[in-house]
Each structure stands twice: as structure tokens, then as C-alpha cells.
Amino acid sequence: MMDHQPTLFDDRRIYSLFELTGNIREVLQEAYPDFYWIKAEIAKLNFYPKSGHCYVDLVDKQERNIRAQMRATIWASAYQMISAKFRDQTRENLRDGMTVLFLASVSFHEVYGLSLNIVDIEPSFTLGEMAREKRDTIEALKKEGIFDLNRKKSLPPVPNKIAVISVESSKGYHDFMVTIRNNPYGYSFRCSLFPSVLQGEKAVETVIDQLMNIARQHAHFDVVTLIRGGGGEVGLSAYDTLKLAREVAVFPLPVITGIGHSTNETVVEMVAHTNLITPTAVASFLIGQFKTFEDRIDSLRDELFRESGQILQDSLTRMANLSHRFHSATLRLLQQPYSELVSSSEKMSIFVRYILEKQSHTLETYQKKIELLDPMNTLKRGYSITLLDDVPLTDASLAGSGSEIKTVLYKGTLDSKVI
């Protein structure tokens, strides 16, 4: 200021704005000649693709109150290097709400005022901040007692009404739908898409919006799948935020994640009912649930068939056995009296035969005896019988002279007169 010729007005020394700002610039340059490592939160990051420059609103908060605020600039030349390095190491884009450690100089411009000129950023600092946020999220969920809530929900045995949170044009959604539709068992699934941004800073709000949307009609769904794929691995810290992780943890339906990345498991994946690597794996998991259920039903049906068949078979065998016993017992009962009858009749006939034989023998004896007594046999030998008045004469004196006697010979008779 001393270099210029002073201007006076009513005896008062006056400076032009240019003189003042120029002086401020010089003072500041003198006071802050170096580059300094500064940590601050990015309140708003404005990137202008055309120029490639990036303008950042920085804040320093204490308990939600802003205690310092400043603008910063990252010129196009620095921004390209810085953002690439940052993305490589943190798998995140520089974005609003992030706490960063950067190397900057204090700059003052007569027209644009005070700002910081950022020339470098240390990604590992932010990585540490992100890890801390993740730890805080896990701790908060556990403290609230909701960390395991979704994991403990039971999956319906046949989960076929599926609310899909994804991006319609994404590879992940396509893979999921193809796997579901082409399942080899012909199971039918009803999938409803709830489109959402799935990475970056907008993911938290849009995923939560869609979760709320599904929650309002949760009776129509069995399960929620959160699937992402083909979108690169940048911007997944949304899944470590307490806000989103809490909504997933307390969600009324089981949430199955297939976010598809190779980095550490995010908190949302930890609290989800089931976490699988890819959307295809999520689809296969759901089909697997169906298959398991069907196999169980099939084996129960087989068991039922086997068991009922066995009972019937046993009953038939028992019945056949009883029937057989019944017949033989009945026959035996009938045969016994009959055979008793038979045997007594047999005994009887033997006895009768004996008696008859004996009788006939006796008869024969008699017959022989009778035969011996037959006079014809005597006559044959030349003897004869003399009859007097047809009575056999055994005393000659009984036949007086003149008596007419009859002599019976073996053949014929002689009539004679006693002389």
C-alpha cells in the first residue's frame, strides 16, 4: 500500500478495493508460503467436466455444527491424478460427505477471494475414515440389537414372489432374470423390479426409498434381492452406511444380496439374510430352495406310499394267514367226528364179519354132518329102506304075512307082499 500515491478524501486516507485485496494477498502469501496437510470434510464437490476443474466446499464440523468453512479448488491438471489415485486406493470417488486429507496452499485472489488450492490428497486417510465408519456402523447395529434381525428371519419354503432392487439395464439384473427364467425344473417366479441406483452417494437414498416402497406392500412378496453387477467396484461404501445397513437389518422380509464385488464384505451384506457373490448365485440359491422343497415333498410322498403299502401288505398277509388257519381248523373239526364214525363203523364191520364167518363155519360143519346122515348115500351103496305104511321098518316082526311093504332103492321103489 505504501507503493502507491495516497488518495485523500476530506482528509481521510482511502484505498481502492484492488489495493486492499492486493495487500491481503501479499500478507497471506507471506504468512502462508508453503503447502500444508489439512483435513476437512467435503460438503459439496462440483466438478466441471468441460474445464476439468473441480471446486470444493470444505467444512469442519464438531457435533454437527460447522466451525469452519472454506472453498477450495483442484485444477484440472491436479484433479485427474488425484481422483484416479483416490479411486484406485479407496474404490470410491471423491464425493460429498467424505473426510479427506489434502495438501493445499492458501490462495487469495482479488476477484475470487480466499480459497485453498489442493494439489494432492492422501487416500489412505479416507480409507481409515471409511473403515472407522464401517466399524461404527457395525457397533451401532449391534448396540441397537438389530444386527442379526434379518439374518434370523426364516425364508419361506418356496420363495417365488421376489422384489428385485436393481438396475434394469445392468448385466447383474440380466444374469439374474435369465437364470431364474431358464431354471431347469420349470419353477415359476414372479419378479418385480424396483429400479435404484446401486453405487455411489445416491445409492443410500434410492435403495432406502425402494425398500420403503416394498415394505408398504411386503405382504405381496416373499423375499427381497439386492443385486448389482457389471458396474465396477467403485462406490460401494454406501453399503457400509448406518442408514442403509439399518434399513436392511430391520426389513420385514428376508433380504438376499448379490452385489458382486471382490472387496471385503460390506455391512449391508453382513446384516442381510443371505449374502451371495453374484446375481446369478442369488438366482441359483432361490431355485435351490424350490428344489429342496420339492425333493422333500417327493421323499415324503415316497415314504407315504411305502408305509401305506407296507401296512396294507401286512394286513393282507395277516388276513390270508387267519383265513388259512380258519379253514384248516374248521376242516379238522369236521373230520374228527367223521373219522370217529368211520372207525367205529369199521370196527363194527370187522366184528360182524367175524360173527358171520363163525356162523358160516358152524353151518358148514352142520352141513357135513347132515350130509353124512343123508340115507341116499347109504342107498347108493346098495342098501335099501323098507317102508311099512310109509314108515321105515326096522323090526321084521312088525311086518306080518300079507303086509304090503315098499322097498326104497337108490333108484326107484319096489312094492311087495310079505309071504
Partner 1 sequence: MKNYTIALKELEKIVEELERGEVSVDVLVNKVKRASELIRQCKVILRDTSEEVEKVIDGMGGDE
Candidates 50, 332, 381, 411; binder of partner 1 (CB under 8 A) is 332
Shorter beta-carbon distance to partner 1: residue 190 or 325 = 325
Of the candidate residues 31, 333, 373, 391, the single one contacting partner 1 (CB under 8 A): 333
* Minimum gap (Å) between residue 179 Cβ and partner 1: 23
Smallest distance from the beta carbon of 300 to partner 1, in angstroms?
A: 10
Region binding partner 1 by CB under 8 A among candidate stretches 19-27, 126-134, 146-154, 329-337: 329-337
Q: Among residues 16, 323, 335, 403, which is the contact residue for partner 1, using CB under 8 A? A: 323
Closest to partner 1 by CB, 334 vs 356, is 334
Provide the angle, in degrees to the nearest 10, between the axes of the packed helices 242-249 and 201-216. 20
Q: Please tell me whether residue 254 adopts helix, strand or coil conformation.
A: coil
Of 46-54, 161-169, 217-225, 328-336: span binding partner 1 (CB under 8 A): 328-336
Cα(396)–Cα(326) distance, integer angstroms: 92
Taking the least distance from each CB to partner 1, the nearer of 335 and 345 is 335
What is the C-alpha to C-alpha distance for residues 258 and 27, in angstroms, rounded to an integer? Answer: 57
Number of residues forming the site for partner 1 (CB under 8 A): 21
Cross-strand partners of 114: 108
d(CA 58, CA 129): 16
Q: Which of 318, 358, 361, 380 binds partner 1 (CB under 8 A)?
A: 318
Q: Which of 17-25, 197-205, 220-228, 311-319 is the region at the interface with partner 1 (rule: CB under 8 A)?
A: 311-319
DSSP character for 149? T
- Among residues 284, 253, 283, 250, the alpha carbon closest in space to that of 268 is found at 250
Check residue 134 and give left, alpha or beta (phi > 0: left; psi -120 to 50: alpha). Answer: alpha
Q: Which stretch binds partner 1 (CB under 8 A): 141-149, 163-171, 210-218, 301-309?
A: 301-309
CB 296 → partner 1: shortest distance, Å? Answer: 14
253-263 CB burial, b ≥16 within 10 A, e <16: bbbbbbbbbee
Give the phi and the psi of residue 385 in degrees, each rounded to 5: -115, 135
Q: How many residues are there in the chain?
A: 419
**Alpha-carbon torsion (92, 97, 101, 105), positive or negative:** positive
Q: Residues 1, 68, 304, 342: which binds partner 1 (CB under 8 A)? A: 304
296 binds partner 1 (CB under 8 A): no
DSSP 3-state assignment of 396?
helix
For position 190 contacting partner 1 by CB under 8 A, the verdict is no
Cβ proximity of 264 and 277 under 8 Å: no
Report in angstroms the alpha-carbon separations of 414 from 378, 383, 384, 403: 17, 13, 10, 14
Single residue of 128, 309, 375, 392 touching partner 1 by CB under 8 A? 309
What is the x/- site pattern for partner 1, positions 334-373, by CB under 8 A?
Answer: x-xx------------------------------------
Q: How far is the CB of 322 from partner 1 (least distance, A)?
A: 6
The C-alpha angle with vertex 383 and arms to 381 and 384, in degrees rounded to 5, equals 135
Stretch that binds partner 1, among 13-21, 155-163, 315-323, 386-394 (CB under 8 A): 315-323
Please say whether the beta carbons of 206 and 197 come within 8 A. yes
CB of 322 or CB of 418, closer to partner 1: 322
Residues that bind partner 1 (CB under 8 A): 301, 304-305, 308-309, 312, 315-316, 318-319, 322-323, 325-326, 329-330, 332-334, 336-337
